[in-house]
Amino acid sequence: MSILSDAVRKTRATLADGRDLFYFDDNAQYVSGERTRRLDDPRPLSDRYAPVLDENGVEHPVTGPTMRLDVLTGEWIPHAAHRMNRTFLPPADANPLAPAKPGAAYSDGEIPDEDYDVVVFENRFPSLMRVPGVDDIETTFEDVDFWRVRPAAGRCEVICFSPDDQKSLREVSPQRMRTIIEAWADRTEELSALDGIEQVFCFENRGQEIGVTLHHPHGQIYAYPYLTPRTAQMLVQARKHREATGRNLLRDVLDAELRSGRRIVFESEHWVGYVPMAARWPVEIHLAPRRDVPDLVALNEDERADLATAYLEILNRVERFFPPQENGELTKTPYIAAWHQAPVGEGREDLRLHLQLFSFLRSPGKLKYLAGSESGMGAWISDTTPEKIADRLNEVAQ
């Protein structure tokens, strides 16, 4: 049984190099792919898994990215230096996330169809990729038994929020936002079922201040073949809390925030937004469902519909957080929107779905840098207080 809402139609296509692409349409006028029948990508891309020829004409099998265990921290570090098959690159001025131009022999970009509502496809140059036939086994490195290496056998997907490259996510309609939520849930469900995947992460990087060069509104979905450091850390804390109290930590945090009320910035029937009591970023909001659910897949219809409105409201508050520009336009607040979902396997019962939305911006033109204390020691210093952040987010409610 599909978890997709009846209002959303999913159509699968295959790109020329073998990558998957999925249209998620809510528009009654058409179903992407079915209308144009150009479901498959006619570009001259070579199979991403095909052997690569070196300069001497010798064939080398594609092995995919690998990752090494940083023994000082216990963290896996994928090294994605060898990105393969860079044989087809769109022109520098092209937007690879735009729909194909009508009548063109093939798309300049990644989307073979001439229109779409929401589309998801595998990243062409992924830092995590499973190559068929490459065993996902951990081995020693340079014969040192505490140095470990493994294929970075995960998956990286891109999600386009709108065919319109001038829109920000906060400007899409609630119906379209709902479709995006369906797409996130669908991808979470499918990716969670893949061999070796331990965690699915839906996120958006927004703003050139954090290195985003493509202005087309889009996000990313990473399926990690390992537990990420932050999730591992939350699980340690959650287990300690369960041992001490028998309760779920994230549930207790939400209840404590609701009882206090001091940092609550949003409440609806199914969702609560708050600035966490020990917020570390200059702007930071957590958005959590009232009901205990592990991930987006587990949200019911009502919760999804309510989330569409809640999400847009939060994004619009973040956009109004800083004073407008001199020309009267809103300051485009750079942000990272990160969906924390329970891992697929062990620890699943101890996490609880929540969105962490945060910004590096301290004031227009002034960023929080992660310098010596943060990057060297992992020791955060905040220049504001959670209460000030909450007050401002409430002030800009409309």
Sole binder of a second copy in the list 7, 39, 45, 80 (CB under 8 A): 80
Looking at residues 220 to 239 of the shown chain, list those that interact with a second copy (rule: CB under 8 A): 220, 222, 224, 228-231, 233-234, 236-237
* DSSP per-residue codes, 300-317: -HHHHHHHHHHHHHHHHH
Binders of a second copy: how many residues, by CB under 8 A? 77
Query: Least separation, in Å, of the C-beta of 125 and a second copy?
Result: 10
Residue 250 found at the interface with a second copy (CB under 8 A): yes
**Is the separation of the CB atoms in 221 and 189 below 8 Å?**
no
Choose the catalytic residue: 60, 216, 218, 270: 218
Sole binder of a second copy in the list 39, 52, 277, 396 (CB under 8 A): 277
Looking at residues 359 to 378 of the shown chain, list those that interact with a second copy (rule: CB under 8 A): 367-373, 375-378
Sole binder of a second copy in the list 92, 105, 137, 379 (CB under 8 A): 379
Looking at residues 251 to 270 of the shown chain, list those that interact with a second copy (rule: CB under 8 A): 252-253, 256, 259-260, 262
**Is the separation of the CB atoms in 273 and 265 below 8 Å?**
yes
**DSSP secondary structure letter of residue 77:** E
Query: Least separation, in Å, of the C-beta of 118 and a second copy?
Result: 18
CA distances (Å), 67 to each of 7, 143, 351, in order? 40, 16, 26
Query: Least separation, in Å, of the C-beta of 261 and a second copy?
Result: 10
Query: Least separation, in Å, of the C-beta of 386 and a second copy?
Result: 8
Reference 296, options 306, 284, 304; nearest CA is: 304
Q: Are strands 218-224 and 264-267 parallel, antiparallel or unpaired?
A: unpaired
Residue 386 found at the interface with a second copy (CB under 8 A): yes
Quick check: is 270 catalytic?
no
**Is the separation of the CB atoms in 45 and 15 below 8 Å?**
yes
Residue 24 found at the interface with a second copy (CB under 8 A): no
CA end-to-end span of the chain:
39
Sole binder of a second copy in the list 28, 72, 92, 137 (CB under 8 A): 72
Sole binder of a second copy in the list 201, 311, 321, 322 (CB under 8 A): 201
Looking at residues 25 to 44 of the shown chain, list those that interact with a second copy (rule: CB under 8 A): none
CA atoms lying within 13 Å on the CB side of residue 378? 4
Task: State the Cα angle at 199 between 193 and 203, rounded to 5°.
Answer: 115
Between CA 253 and CA 251 the distance in angstroms is 5
Which residues are the active-site residues? 218
